[in-house]
Amino acid sequence: MHIADGIIDTNICMAANVASVAIIYLTGKNTPMEEIPRMGITGAALFVASLIHIPFAGTSIHPGLIGIAGIILGKRAFPVIFTVLLFQSLIFQHGGLLSVGINSLNMGAGAYVAWIIWKQQRIPEYVRAMAGGFAGIIIPVLLMTFEFQLSGYGKGIIFLFSVYLIVATIEGGMAFFVVRFFRNIKSDILS
Amino acid sequence: MKHSFIDKYSELNSLMHKLDPRVKLIMVFLGIVAMVSETPGNIYPFVFYGAVILTLILLSRIPPGFVLKRLFFVSPFIIMAALFYPASLMLAGEYKFVNPQAEAINIGLSIFLKAGMSIILLIWLISTEKFHALLHGLRKLRMPRLIGIISALMYRYVFILADESLKTTRARDSRSPGKLKMNRIKVYSNQMAMIFLRSWERSKTIYDSMLSRGFTGDFKDMKELELKRNDILISVLIVLVFLSIRVFIEPGA
């Protein structure tokens, strides 16, 4: 789901980088000092957890955990996601240096939608968790589809991206189990 | 446990390794901008970009086999993206190719070259500089302060959590030998939740210990970076070469 450099129009990537920096300032300003170590170590946990590969249908998938990041970190999710993506592009070349911004906007939007869903207290908790995990993948995919079309890719990209519905469903299931684990072991993470 | 997956070969001693990390970051960024802003379907300039990148790799004494191996691991993603463009246009029947095969191959190949060469430049960057020095360089280049602090913390704890990940993987394997058939998602999710939980518990202790050592929101960086004449000369030369290829090499010349 990481867009590499050279795939999307350069102007879109540049604009996304500017927008990302603006969002970092908006969501990160007035961050209490005691919250910053938590953001750093949660970023490290996201980075490491995404390296675990789950065998699936003869291949393997790695979790994005974007929905979980939104549920746990709320509005502070964006700066953490940006940093994780910067690490992934520099260390593993997943994504790119120029496309860190566009990838952050896509995945950050997924995390924020997951957070908004999580805040709807009227809906049962496990449904919110599943929907949050699902949204954490499907929102970035929808945005990617839009960006690919802006860059000249045809409408056929919609069919190609539909495969991500399976991945989003798996992430929804994972978010359900992760939230259930937290609720049973240490529920204050979810507050 | 030692983890060499981050910046293997960054300890070599070459002209490229000695360059200032800020200069390398700017060079790589501008090099990528020059390459990815080429007209879609324009393949010819990539012969020259390739020659420059190969020279950089040889000058830095990084084994070319290592670079190709790293590229190989990432290549499925970029091959998929390269196939997306013509496949997507054809699937929707939106574009009538005059010579479908040649045009589709051309467009796909140019996307593959842009992405592939950008990735090689990133491999070169991480192989010629220690990762923490790159982060230091990014902070000096005025990346947002919050990202600077988060990245410094992440770098410190990513190794500890990688060890936690290995431990939890070992525990998972010992409790469920062989291939998991049922509850696979549940087992892997619980493992990830455990990694999160341990990191969460640890963050409070970390914050207290940072405060006790006088943490005020800024990390005392390693030695101050000093820009030398060599740094400026070499970087300006390389950036000029990239920009000259971008400006002067005509499509299909």
Per-residue pLDDT tens over the stretch A84-109:
999 989 988 888 899 999 999 999 99
Q: How many residues does chain B have?
A: 253
Q: How many residues does chain A have?
A: 191
CB A97 within 8 A of CB B29: yes
pLDDT confidence of residue B101:
64
Q: Is the pLDDT of residue B2 over 60?
A: no
Instruction: Flag whether B183 is in a domain.
Output: yes
pLDDT (average), residues B17-44: 91
In chain B, pLDDT over 90 holds for what percent of residues?
29
Instruction: Flag whether A47 is in a domain.
Output: yes
C-alpha span between B82 and B79 (Å, rounded): 5
Residue type, B29: F
pLDDT confidence of residue A56:
65
Query: Which has more pLDDT, A25 or B95?
Result: A25
pLDDT confidence of residue B97:
58
Question: Mutate which of B158, B169, B205, B242 to disrupt the A interface (most A C-beta within 10 Å)?
Answer: B158
C-alpha span between B213 and B172 (Å, rounded): 37
**Nearest partner of A35 among A82, A72, A84, judged by Cα:** A72
Same domain, B90 and B157: no
CB contact under 8 A, B32 and A49: no
pLDDT confidence of residue B203:
75
Q: Is the pLDDT of residue B49 over 60?
A: yes
pLDDT confidence of residue B131:
87
A61: its two tokens = 């998938």
**Full domain range(s) for residue B76:** 21-138+226-248
pLDDT class for B93, splitting at 50, 70, 90? low
> Residue B226, exposed/middle/buried by CB under 10 A (0-12, 13-18, 19+)?
exposed
Instruction: Flag whether B167 is in a domain.
Output: yes
Nearest CA in chain A to B211: A34
DSSP notation for B132-167:
HHHHHHHHHTT--HHHHHHHHHHHHHHHHHHHHHHH
Instruction: Flag whether A3 is in a domain.
Output: no
pLDDT (average), residues B97-112: 75
How far is the alpha carbon of B22 from chain A, nearest alpha carbon, in Å? 14
Instruction: Flag whether A143 is in a domain.
Output: yes
pLDDT confidence of residue A173:
92
pLDDT (average), residues B40-64: 91
Q: Terminus-to-terminus CA distance in chain A, angstroms? A: 29
C-alpha span between A173 and B211 (Å, rounded): 39
Instruction: Flag whether A55 is in a domain.
Output: yes
- 3-state SS of B59-78 is HHCCCHHHHHHHHHHHHHHH
Same domain, B128 and B155: no
Q: Is the pLDDT of residue B161 over 90?
A: no
pLDDT confidence of residue A17:
94
pLDDT confidence of residue B92:
64
Nearest CA in chain B to A20: B144
Q: Which positions in chain B touch A41 (Cβ < 8 Å)? A: 153-154, 157, 161, 199-200, 202-203, 206
> Residue A104, exposed/middle/buried by CB under 10 A (0-12, 13-18, 19+)?
buried
Cβ–Cβ contact A160 with B under 8 A: yes
Q: What is the ipTM of this complex?
A: 0.87
Instruction: Flag whether A136 is in a domain.
Output: yes
Give Cα B12 to chain centroid, integer Å: 19
pLDDT (average), residues B164-190: 78
Instruction: Report the largest interatomic distance among the alpha carbons of chain A, rounded to a whole angstrom.
Output: 48
* Mean pLDDT of the residues in chain B: 83
Instruction: Flag whether A36 is in a domain.
Output: yes
**Full domain range(s) for residue A183:** 10-190
Helices (H), chain A: 10-28, 35-49, 66-73, 77-91, 100-118, 125-150, 157-161, 164-185
Residues 26-45 of A with CB under 8 A from B: 28, 31, 33-34, 36-45
CB atoms within 10 A of CB B175: 8
CB atoms within 10 A of CB A57: 7
Same domain, B104 and B67: yes
**Nearest partner of A10 among A96, A137, A105, A104, judged by Cα:** A96
pLDDT confidence of residue B30:
95
Number of domains in chain A: 1
pLDDT (average), residues A105-120: 95
Same domain, B83 and B187: no
Instruction: Flag whether B195 is in a domain.
Output: yes
What CATH number does residue A183 fall under? 1.10.1760.20
Number of domains in chain B: 2
Query: Which has more pLDDT, B203 or A85?
Result: A85
CB contact under 8 A, A96 and B118: yes
Instruction: Flag whether A4 is in a domain.
Output: no
Give residue-wise pLDDT tens across range A123-176.
999 999 999 999 999 999 999 888 888 887 777 677 767 778 888 998 999 999
CB contact under 8 A, A154 and B184: no
Same domain, B28 and B68: yes
pLDDT (average), residues B22-40: 93
Query: Which has more pLDDT, B197 or B105?
Result: B197
Same domain, B49 and B115: yes
How many CB pairs below 8 A link A and B?
Answer: 245
CB B225 within 8 A of CB B14: no
Give residue-wise pLDDT tens across range A29-75.
888 887 888 888 888 888 888 777 776 666 667 788 899 999 999 98
Instruction: Flag whether B61 is in a domain.
Output: yes
Instruction: Flag whether A2 is in a domain.
Output: no
Among the listed ranges A11-20, B65-74, B84-93, which one has the minimum average pLDDT value?
A: B84-93
